[in-house]
Amino acid sequence: MKKGTRKIDSFFKKMDRQGEAVSYNDIRLKTGYSEITPSSPDMDTSSLFSRRVKLKIPIVSSPMDTVTEAKMAIAIAKLGGLGIIHKALSPKEQAAMVGRVKHHLNAFVSDPICVSPDNTIGEILQMKKDKGYKFYSFLVRDSSGLIVGLVTHNDFDFCRDKDTRISKIMSTEIICAKPDITIQGAYRQMMETKKKILPVFNHDGSLRGIYTWADVSRIVLKSSETFNVDGRGSLVVGAAIGVGADLEERMNFLNREKVNVVVIDTAHGDSKKVIDAVKFCKKYYSQIDVVAGNISEPSSAKHLVRAGVDGIRVGQGPGSICTTRVIAGIGCPQVTAIYNCAKAVRGSGVPICGDGGIEYSGDIPIALAAGAHNVMMGKALAGTTESPGDIIHKGGRTVKSYRGMGSLGAMIEHKTSRERYGQTDLTPDKLVPEGVEAEIDYKGDLNIIVSLLIGGLKAGMGYVGAKNIAALHRKADFHKISGTGLRESHPHGLLNMKDAPNYRGEKL
């Protein structure tokens, strides 16, 4: 095989000659000689979402108002994936959610939240509630910027009067660490001094940051090995942005909260406004990775790479709640779209996200084999405990809502949803939805769902004989299957079939 070519190239060349494009239900992976099993310690599912944003599992949750807010983003990053917080929120609200994820876990907090000696206990409790902060330890900074004390959980527990000022209860003896202390050193010093918060000052006396016990111990004792954290020890998180008038304001807020990656979330990524937005973000916020989409054609992928993107989101119309293909008559079946876009930018270092249409766990190894580096999912992760929205008991079923961001309801409620589809008219009669609103069965906790999805991915990789995603890209090949082959793929000819945890006799 020529260098740079892959086994799947001849499969797709043939498909192209026949004028055919395929999706998940049209193909299956060929098995290959294997020295790896799903449970081998060598099995490695790590990948990339964008040039600098790594993944321990190649699963990303969709920026949708029924899928990803702070709770989902925290949970999925703890499982090794990534959550993209949706943009049907004001720039301030969205940034606050990013902040919640960033502050959830911090080995070293370089800009800790400080309180003033004049604040009352009541004011701090209110701030905790408003911002969703779970921690109780705060450094106390006076009006000249000097750190003058520390308040911890005990101070809140033993003070009943909410009007008490912080200056009355704070401890002024602060044990601090040397500026160059390592996380292991911080762990030892905290064990010795029995202090749960360890400030670090620079040589000039200015505050460098703090170590907090829960996170330091978790990291040193390796109980957080699955967590997807950035170089600063915070959970990795992304946020969706649009190309409308609030782009600059949104980027400003998100940058302040140290978002790792923004996703330019539009229905037509190969457009002037998206390319201009990519250039704007790269010019003024070069420290944040930029992923753009959605696209489904190879020429579009090339345009985005030329504009400077760090990642590409592929998928126009495969989503479970999406009607774009039938309303606008456009789009390419998802696996061919992934393959064509990935092939067009092969060697550029820009990862491909296969977005939408994942019904079964077996679709994930197929998407990756076609050239994707990760998959983004809405429906498969919606309806979990961590997705936004209430659990509803209805007609003997327990459900949660799941809707398209271009559904009528989402478009009426959110300006950013109208912008995603390039629509400005607010009159409901004049809106042209490209998706639907629905309910799906409540599935329980995210970790169970993700474990089944990753289990399926590892099984697929084991059958192909690929111990990592790069090997899957190299070794994978496809069979095209017929309608009979598809029927044979599913359980058939049975009576009273029981649901399996990852197969319900209906779609995920």
* Contact residues for ligand CPR, defined by CB under 6 A: 62, 64, 294, 315, 319-322, 324, 355-358, 376-380, 404-407, 434-435
d(CA 480, CA 27): 4
d(CA 462, CA 466): 6
Is the preceding omega at residue 294 within 30 degrees of 0, hence cis? yes
Shortest Å, Cβ 342 to ligand CPR = 17
Beta bridge partners of 140: 115, 149
Name the residue nearer to ligand CPR (CB basis): 289 or 434: 434
Name the residue nearer to ligand CPR (CB basis): 376 or 450: 376
Beta bridge partners of 48: 54
How many angstroms separate the Cα of 60 from the Cα of each of 379, 386, 441? 12, 14, 21
Shortest Å, Cβ 380 to ligand CPR = 6
Nearest residue to ligand CPR on Cβ basis: 435
Shortest Å, Cβ 403 to ligand CPR = 7
Name the residue nearer to ligand CPR (CB basis): 56 or 420: 420
Name the helix (H) or strand (E) containing 437.
strand 437-441
d(CA 44, CA 47): 9
Sign of the C-alpha dihedral computed for residues 359, 363, 364 and 367 taken in this order: negative
Residue among 196, 219, 276, 211 at smallest CA distance from 243: 276
Shortest Å, Cβ 67 to ligand CPR = 8
Sign of the C-alpha dihedral computed for residues 239, 436, 457 and 67 taken in this order: positive
Name the residue nearer to ligand CPR (CB basis): 351 or 435: 435
Cβ atoms within 10 A of the Cβ of 213, count?
Answer: 17
Shortest Å, Cβ 468 to ligand CPR = 24
Name the residue nearer to ligand CPR (CB basis): 7 or 273: 273
Residues taking part in catalysis: 322, 420
Region for residue 237 given its phi and psi (left: phi exceeds 0; alpha: psi -120 to 50; beta: otherwise): beta
Q: Evaluate whether 291 touches 130 at the Cβ level (below 8 Å).
A: no
